[in-house]
Structure 1
Amino acid sequence: MGSVWQPSAARADHGRHGEQRSWAIHGTGAYLPARRVSSGELSRSLGLDPAWIEERTGIRHRHVAEPGQAASDLAAAAARRALAAAGLDAGDVGLIVLGTSTPDELGPSTACRVQALLGAGRAAAFDVAAACTGFVFGLSAAVGWLAGRPEPSPYALVIGVEVYSRFLNSGDRATAALFGDGAAAAVVGPVAPPYGLGPVEIGSDGSRAGDVLIPAGGSRAPASPETLSGHGHTIHMDGRAVRDFIAEAFPRLVAEAAGEAGVKPADLALVVPHQPNPRLVASLAGDAGLGPEQLVITGRDVGNIGAASLPFALDRAVREGRIGAGDLVLLVGFGAGVTWGRALITWPAPGPSRGGD
């Protein structure tokens, strides 16, 4: 097993005068491109029976970005909605952390592009490259940063975004069937205990980095006629290895989180997982000690949107009223690298208790 790090800042810390400080999600938002492609349409384009993709993955459709629409455009739209939900504006943001595998360009960071689009001039901005676990890695970074700020604390934006459609081999059914485009964001800031976010735990096993990757375009295999003709700039995936990793990681992460909290998996109000294949993830509920009603499954409507998958599902749950004050909500991510992460949230009550500052 690879390395695991649990930052102490993920737990409530103490301010300058010894009072306890905690952090919570105060607003969520999501954005999907307007164009929607059904699995039936995509199956036919791959020369398959129209029901092939949906029967195997549970995905009914996915969204595809328009020409000229970049990751930063989707991310900024989701961030604006998250800020509006939190009752904040861009001037309240001190940090932007963005998870993506499909940046606008290799450099600068896509987070800097988002900062400019939002007009968040006070915010430091950077990307995290943890693939589909990027949102949980981003939460870890945001909480650690917030814990070091003097009071009154600013707010952090954590964003997940992918424009996978630009990195797919249209003839590869293993990847073309799964991936879509989208973005989602969350605003993280102070809250009065007992509400709060944490612990956040993240881990990696780089020996399995070849399980899912875009092999060309970096310093090891720069762009060339050969990389272009060989589809080196598209997603390559060992489907069996990925499936085995998810089947092991998901139940383990749920068990670890519940054990640390001193509860049973059945006591969790909601579990919000990354869902590269929604049918597969839903089938693992029993192995994780969960009932199907505890899972938030949205991948049927959007496919695998990578780092945006988990925050998109969280935003859907919030907007559908599935989360109440005091609920224990577990976020579970896993992705290329391979990487994994989990975050347990005692969901805050609306109103004054959100402030803490």
Structure 2
Amino acid sequence: MRAVQIKSTGMAVPERVVPNSYFNEILGEDVDTWLRENVEIYERRWLDADQGVASLCLAAAQQAMDRAGLSNTEVQLLIIATDTPEFISPSTASVIQHRLGLENCATFDVNTACAGFVSALDTASKYLKSDEQYRNAMVIGCYGMSKYLNLQDKKTVTLFADGAGAVILSAKEPGNSDMLAALQTTQGQYYDWMGIYSGATKEPVSAEIVANNDQYLKFVKRFPSELNPQMWSSIAQELCKRAGISVSEVRMFFMTQININSIRGMLDILELPHDRAITIMHKFGYTGSAAIPMALNMAVEQNLIKRGDPILLIGSGGGLAFAGALMRY
């Protein structure tokens, strides 16, 4: 089988900056202090009313292609990971394929919520390894959750934000692959704990749904605080075991960014310093399936990782879905 390498990265965020003070005004209470002290979110970016998530995908994709030096005829596969698509149907990937002019490019969307980017990255690497018609694959994680927020629900409206991150993977001759190990797993018993439960076949949007504000993202039940740290540390240990390396050899961790304390809890379990994980929620809020590729792009731009460094990407998302990928950058 052929090997796989990371060719380039890219990211995009909306121009509109929403500071914590905005929520003090609309909620009529001081939420800024709580956000700063407990989740370390200071501001985030939101799409404008006339923007869809495809605009962010397009910008992140173009940046990744420019950095890779690829033309629009040299990408054979495009996978977009999102649970906030441009349309319910058709796929957001088809929109981006057309707007970028990606000739002869297969496309599809993946929805494992906030685990989606790592799920899509794992999927793309398997295409590249096993099928010679695919030489370059672009994976985009994108998020436009501001469109699904109830402005009066302080449990959601203060956390979620918008963005997109792109990674291009390329196939190379059989040998040492940069994809060292990957896994995906799901704990479906949590499917009804958090999500957007209207707008599809179970409950299409209706006047009654809108009147009750049921078209928005909801936290239905509180997740156990230990769930993510335990699952993430277990995934990290399993992937390192498969690859034959120590967890301590991982140069940097790229995690789902919904809770900085969960990231630190995972690192504590692994007995690693907190600076092993880059965090981006401070200025960008929680960007769901875009958070991990955005963090990876920032680490590349800031020279926090170098070629050959082992890196671990671990995502978790509503469902609950979990995905991990151990790679060499």
Query: Which residue matches 1:169?
Result: 150
Query: Which residue matches 2:7?
Result: 26
Query: Which residue matches 1:79?
Result: 61
> TM-score, normalised on structure 2?
0.95
Query: Which residue matches 2:100?
Result: 118
Query: Which residue matches 2:286?
Result: 304
RMSD, aligned α-carbons: 1.6
Query: Which residue matches 1:157?
Result: 138
* SS of match in other structure, 1:36: strand
Moved over 3 A (4+): none
**Which has the higher mean CA deviation after the structures are superposed, 281-290 or 198-207?**
281-290
Choose which of 245, 268, 293 in structure 2 pairs with 1:263. Answer: 245
Which stretches in structure 1 are left out of the alignment for 5+ residues?
A: 1-12, 14-20, 348-357
Matches within 5 A, 1:14-53: 21-49=2-30, 50-53=32-35
Task: State the alpha-carbon separation in 2 of the partners of residues 147 and 254 from structure 1.
Answer: 23
Task: State the alpha-carbon separation in 2 of the partners of residues 47 and 248 from structure 1.
Answer: 36
Kept in 2, the 8 Å contact 1:249–1:334? The answer is no
Identity of aligned residues (%): 28
Query: Which residue matches 1:180?
Result: 161
TM-superposition CA deviations, 1:18-65 (whole Å, max 9, x none): xxx210111000000001111233234222213122222111110011
* SS of match in other structure, 1:199: strand
Task: State the alpha-carbon separation in 2 of the partners of residues 288 and 164 from structure 1.
Answer: 31
Kept in 1, the 8 Å contact 2:81–2:117? The answer is yes
* SS of match in other structure, 2:268: coil
Matches within 5 A, 1:212-291: 212-238=194-220, 240-241=222-223, 243-291=225-273
Task: State the alpha-carbon separation in 1 of the partners of residues 185 and 5 from structure 2.
Answer: 22
Task: State the alpha-carbon separation in 1 of the partners of residues 36 and 310 from structure 2.
Answer: 32
Kept in 2, the 8 Å contact 1:134–1:307? The answer is yes
- Give 1:110 shift: 0.6
* SS of match in other structure, 1:284: helix
Task: State the alpha-carbon separation in 2 of the partners of residues 294 and 210 from structure 1.
Answer: 33
Task: State the alpha-carbon separation in 2 of the partners of residues 248 and 173 from structure 1.
Answer: 27
* Mapped pair 1:134 → 2:116: yes
Task: State the alpha-carbon separation in 2 of the partners of residues 263 and 144 from structure 1.
Answer: 22
Aligned AA (2:114): C
- Give 1:245 shift: 2.7
Task: State the alpha-carbon separation in 1 of the partners of residues 33 and 106 from structure 2.
Answer: 46
Aligned AA (1:292): H
Number of residue equivalences: 327
Kept in 2, the 8 Å contact 1:32–1:74? The answer is yes
Aligned AA (2:189): S
TM-superposition CA deviations, 1:266-318 (whole Å, max 9, x none): 21111111111224323432123321121111111111111101000000001
Query: Which residue matches 2:171?
Result: 190
Task: State the alpha-carbon separation in 1 of the partners of residues 261 and 18 from structure 2.
Answer: 19
